Amino acid sequence: MKTPLSSSPSSSSSLLRKARLSPYYLFTFFAFIVFATILYTEDFSCIFSQLDDSSQSVKRPTEKKKVKLPFSIGRTEEGCDVFSGKWVWDEENHPLYEESECPYIQPQLTCQEHGRPEKGYQFWRWQPHGCSLPSFNATLMLETLRGKRMMFVGDSLNRGQYVSMVCLLHRLLPEESKSMKTNGSLTIFTAKDYNATIEFYWAPFLLESNSDDAVIHRITDRLVRRGSINKHGRYWKGADILVFNTYLWWMTGLNFKILQGSFDDEVKDIVELSTEDAYRMGMKSMLRWVRKNMDPKRTRVFFASMSPSHQKSIDWGGEPNGNCYNQTTMISDPSYWGSDTRKSIMQVIGEVFSKSKSPITFLNITQLSSYRKDAHTSIYKKQWGPLTPEQLANPVSYADCVHWCLPGLQDTWNELLFAKLFYP
């Protein structure tokens, strides 16, 4: 059955035309409006509106009346996909804070401090095609977090978004009433006067893995243990707003090794899965965990899609052997997507989410970020170790085309998170 939500604009306008014909159709039309309004407040609409037509016919688990989502104070214009749009230059309102003003940015992301000669990447605003984003209101965000926990869980890219969120909020707090502490995998920013915390938990696969040490995790032979999400998940319980990501660590370029037993087993039971199947297993674990542990009446859960890297300039028609190094303009081809794995992983996400009953709001940041080859930290960051003369002679060889300068692109991810939290 086709539901009102999957109606295209043309089908609703044909309803309108019919509505002029008879009272019966008038009634149908208003019933449709009421039904669509109710459905619209559901999280599923966020996910389903971004799926292609084939997945829209998947039977929705909760097509019944439901109260509005926690934290929402309004709604985005119907039919507007905030993730579909374009970048516009906005020197007036961006960046949302200065690099030097936010002491919480790790030195791997402070590009100006590390010699980046220009600031163009800081001035872009995301403009959805169908509507405008609400402006980020730090007061509203902090008031909402009063007495609450907001937690980001995932890898270093999610840590970047976490730090961006802290930078967006900390100015409202006096020096003595805020702190940031790290203990192992958990970093906690406390806003004392608000009794609020914004936290980051390092779990690059969400499940237990041999890369879980928050400091020493550069393992080439990666191993993830099946069914082990509670190992980390116990630290996420009680969060009011959760933001997950996981992607890059699954991308080994080879089949992925999954541990069936325990890391302590003398003879390890290991199976190899395709990247997509391994990732699917991780996604399903996350969704199951959310269903069992998060109360949809009180909490919100977000999942951020893949953060794209820019390792090969031939991908966007640049000169051979280049990467994001020395890139100060974005990719202008609106259909640019990048690697094929990104496409197949997006497909896995779409499949898994469309079958899921977990109310997770999807932050589809991949496409809008894929244009931003100008926004990476490149060589303008604190290096982990000294560079060799060969490297220094060839900056392309050590440019970081994965992570993003702050302020910058990841502030936009939080503007989108803000939009989806308050205006779903």
HSE-CB for 331 with a 13 A CA cutoff: 25
Tell me if 106 contacts ligand NAG by CB under 6 A. no
Stretch that binds ligand NAG, among 24-32, 143-151, 166-174, 214-222 (CB under 6 A): 143-151
Q: Which of 11, 13, 22, 137 binds ligand NAG (CB under 6 A)?
A: 137
Taking the complex as a whole, the smallest distance from the CB of residue 356 to ligand NAG amounts, in Å, to 12
Place of tokens 């541990």: 259
Please provide residue 66's backbone torsions phi and psi, each rounded to the nearest 5 degrees. Answer: -150, 145
Q: Among residue numbers 78 through 97, which ones bind ligand NAG (CB under 6 A)?
A: 83-84
Tell me if 183 contacts ligand NAG by CB under 6 A. yes
Amino acid at 18: K
Q: Which of 147, 174, 253, 317 binds ligand NAG (CB under 6 A)?
A: 147
Stretch that binds ligand NAG, among 13-21, 29-37, 62-70, 133-141 (CB under 6 A): 133-141
Stretch that binds ligand NAG, among 138-146, 159-167, 204-212, 414-422 (CB under 6 A): 138-146
Residues 6+ apart with CB under 8 A from 138: 168, 169, 171, 172
Give the Å distances, CA to CA, from 329 to 119, 123, 199, 324, 343. Answer: 11, 12, 33, 10, 24
Q: Among residue numbers 222 through 261, which ones bind ligand NAG (CB under 6 A)?
A: none
If the CB atoms of residues 65 and 129 are measured against ligand NAG, the closer one turns out to be 129
Decide: helix, strand or coil at residue 203.
Answer: coil
Closest to 359 in 3D by CA, of 301, 305, 303, 293 = 301
* Tokens representing residue 42 in the block: 């559901």
If the CB atoms of residues 105 and 377 are measured against ligand NAG, the closer one turns out to be 377
Give catalytic residues, as residue numbers. Answer: 156, 400, 403
Tell me if 140 contacts ligand NAG by CB under 6 A. yes
Taking the complex as a whole, the smallest distance from the CB of residue 147 to ligand NAG amounts, in Å, to 4
* Tokens representing residue 182 in the block: 């790290």
As a whole number of angstroms, the distance between CA 416 and CA 424 comes to 10
- Max distance between CA atoms of the chain, in angstroms, equals 81
As a whole number of angstroms, the distance between CA 336 and CA 182 comes to 38
Beta-bridge mates of residue 241: 150, 300
As a whole number of angstroms, the distance between CA 110 and CA 95 comes to 14
Taking the complex as a whole, the smallest distance from the CB of residue 83 to ligand NAG amounts, in Å, to 6
As a whole number of angstroms, the distance between CA 13 and CA 5 comes to 14
Tell me if 332 contacts ligand NAG by CB under 6 A. no
Q: Which of 98, 101, 118, 143 binds ligand NAG (CB under 6 A)?
A: 143
Taking the complex as a whole, the smallest distance from the CB of residue 50 to ligand NAG amounts, in Å, to 3
HSE-CB for 58 with a 13 A CA cutoff: 21
Q: Among residue numbers 339 through 368, which ones bind ligand NAG (CB under 6 A)?
A: 346, 349-350, 364, 367
Amino acid at 378: S
Tell me if 188 contacts ligand NAG by CB under 6 A. no
Residue nearest to ligand NAG (CB): 50
Q: Which of 195, 252, 332, 388 binds ligand NAG (CB under 6 A)?
A: 195
Amino acid at 63: E
Taking the complex as a whole, the smallest distance from the CB of residue 42 to ligand NAG amounts, in Å, to 16
- Applying CB under 6 A, the residues found at the interface with ligand NAG are 50-51, 83-84, 137, 139-140, 143, 147-149, 183-184, 195, 326, 346, 349-350, 364, 367
